[in-house]
Amino acid sequence: MKTTSFALRNVRIITPFRIVEPGVIVIAGRQIAHMGKVSDIAVPPGIPVYDLPGITVTPGFIDLLVHGGYGHGFADDTADAITAISDFFFAHGTTGLLASLFSKKMDLLKKDMTRIADYIEGHTGSNVWGIHMEGPFINPQIKGAHKIEYLWEPNVEMWNELYASSRGHIKLMTISPELPGNIDVIRTAASQGVVPSIGHTLALYDDIEKAIDNGAAHVTHMFNAMRPFHHREAGIMVAALLRNELKVELIADGIHVNPIVMKLLHNIKGSGGIILVTDAIRASGMPDGEYHFMDQKIIVREKRAFLENGTLAGSTLTMEEAVKTMVKEVGVPLTDAVRMASLNGAKVLGIEHRKGILAVGKDADLVLLDDGFNVQATVYEGEVKYQRSLFKH
């Protein structure tokens, strides 16, 4: 459905700071034109009105770590793969995502960068907003599923080549600050507007402080691929919990992190310090079986994705499932879970003045959920990108 204006009435609105119920949202073009309680808002005459009791409306989800989905990966050498991934994530409420790339040989990684940059620049209305470069400047001792032969010695010149090949579309970069030379890379990337994210790291607290001073502001998939917590040897976990400069990604699938540990994280960092991500791979949305990721065989059983040696390798998570996990298994308020899935990611990207929040003048990026947290429709900048049946006549 494409239309210049329409209204959603008798819905529960998660702003995400409060709940408006029963609420109404009026969309005009790409923006929200009116919003509030049904008793306070007069819907302009002549526009379609959809009465949707039982539907919850949230800001569009923003996922900063996506490798693929629905049988495709962002490292696949075709634009059709990117379109398929984009459509799949629209169907799960994600209105903005970063295409995540993994460590490779220089020429192949630069080719991936350029292909995604071409797609972003050639597709208006896409939910692919930029690139998250996960590696290749990460610690080989805690590489996860990354192949060790593709990890690079930290080097500013090589980073600049990568950044140039992306034509400025790298928004986030995972890096290990303890490796010699990586503070220089962090400083350079930060000066170019990229958010350096600490991950796949054995860094100690002093290393993290240096990284923060040089622009690091983010932590990749908290608790996974990092130095374990130790009470006499403070490392990344202590820094991530203690330092408010660092926002942390959380893969809320109940597999990567136990729900009790997620509750502890929420109690310490609060709803403003956590960003829900999926770390989804091509197996997301697909049946159990064997797939490939990072040039290796991946086994998927009961939503768990792992290498043959048992190492977790991405996830099959989608964002509405992450929100559901936070509410149902972790016990956080729905407003908090939605904030972690929307506004917080927008803040990392510096676009919170338009995205991640529902109010007049903001972009009309909406997710419509039923009581089971199933996505019934996704609206992006006023255009319905996915629907089950809500807008059909």
Q: What is the pLDDT of residues 241-291, one digit of tens each?
A: 999 999 999 999 999 999 999 999 999 999 999 999 999 999 999 999 989
The pLDDT value recorded for residue 38 is 97
Q: What is the pLDDT of residues 95-131, one digit of tens each?
A: 999 999 999 999 999 999 999 999 999 999 999 999 9
SS3 189: helix
AA letter at 247: K
**Length reported for the chain:** 393
Q: Round to whole Å and give the CA distance between 308 and 148.
A: 16
Residues 6+ apart with CB under 8 A from 121: 167
Token readout for 249 is: 């990604």
For residues 300-306, average pLDDT: 89
The pLDDT value recorded for residue 393 is 46
Token readout for 352 is: 């919170």
Residue the block writes with tokens 């390798």: 313
Q: Round to whole Å and give the CA distance between 284 and 318.
A: 8
The pLDDT value recorded for residue 181 is 94
| Bridge pairing between strands 61-66 and 31-37 | unpaired
For residues 284 and 317, the answer to whether their CB atoms sit within 8 Å is yes
For residues 42 and 76, the answer to whether their CB atoms sit within 8 Å is no
The pLDDT value recorded for residue 390 is 81
CA of 345: how far to CAs of 155, 296, 393, in Å?
A: 28, 30, 35
CA-based torsion, 273, 274, 275, 281: positive or negative: positive
The pLDDT value recorded for residue 357 is 98
For residues 374 and 366, the answer to whether their CB atoms sit within 8 Å is no
Q: Round to whole Å and give the CA distance between 198 and 222.
A: 9
Looking at the predicted structure, is the pLDDT value of residue 300 above 70?
A: yes
Q: Round to whole Å and give the CA distance between 270 and 264.
A: 10
Preceding peptide of 259 cis, ω within 30° = no
Q: What is the pLDDT of residues 339-351, one digit of tens each?
A: 999 999 999 999 9
Q: What is the pTM of this model?
A: 0.96
61-348: in CATH 3.20.20.140: yes
Among residues 256, 231, 238, 162, the alpha carbon closest in space to that of 198 is found at 238
Q: Round to whole Å and give the CA distance between 153 and 3.
A: 51
Token readout for 253 is: 């699938």
The secondary structure of residue 380, as a DSSP letter, is E
Q: Read off the pLDDT band of 4 (50, 70, 90).
A: confident
Looking at the predicted structure, is the pLDDT value of residue 3 above 80?
A: no
Q: What is the pLDDT of residues 198-207, one digit of tens each?
A: 999 999 999 9
The pLDDT value recorded for residue 1 is 57
For residues 363-377, average pLDDT: 98
Looking at the predicted structure, is the pLDDT value of residue 358 above 70?
A: yes
Q: Please identify every residue annotated as catalytic.
A: 279
The pLDDT value recorded for residue 13 is 98
Q: What is the pLDDT of residues 44-56, one digit of tens each?
A: 999 999 999 999 9
For residues 323-345, average pLDDT: 98
Residue the block writes with tokens 């298994």: 329
- Helix, strand, coil content of the chain in percent (nearest 5): 25, 30, 40
CATH superfamily of 5-58+358-387: Urease, subunit C, domain 1 (2.30.40.10)
Looking at the predicted structure, is the pLDDT value of residue 392 above 80?
A: no
For residues 131-150, average pLDDT: 89
For residues 301-329, average pLDDT: 93
Domain map (residue ranges) of the chain: 5-58+358-387, 61-348
Query: Which range has the worst mean pLDDT, 12-16, 42-46, 186-190?
Result: 42-46
For residues 132 and 100, the answer to whether their CB atoms sit within 8 Å is yes
Q: If you average pLDDT over every residue of the chain, what do you get? A: 95
Q: Give the H or E element holding residue 297.
A: strand 296-301
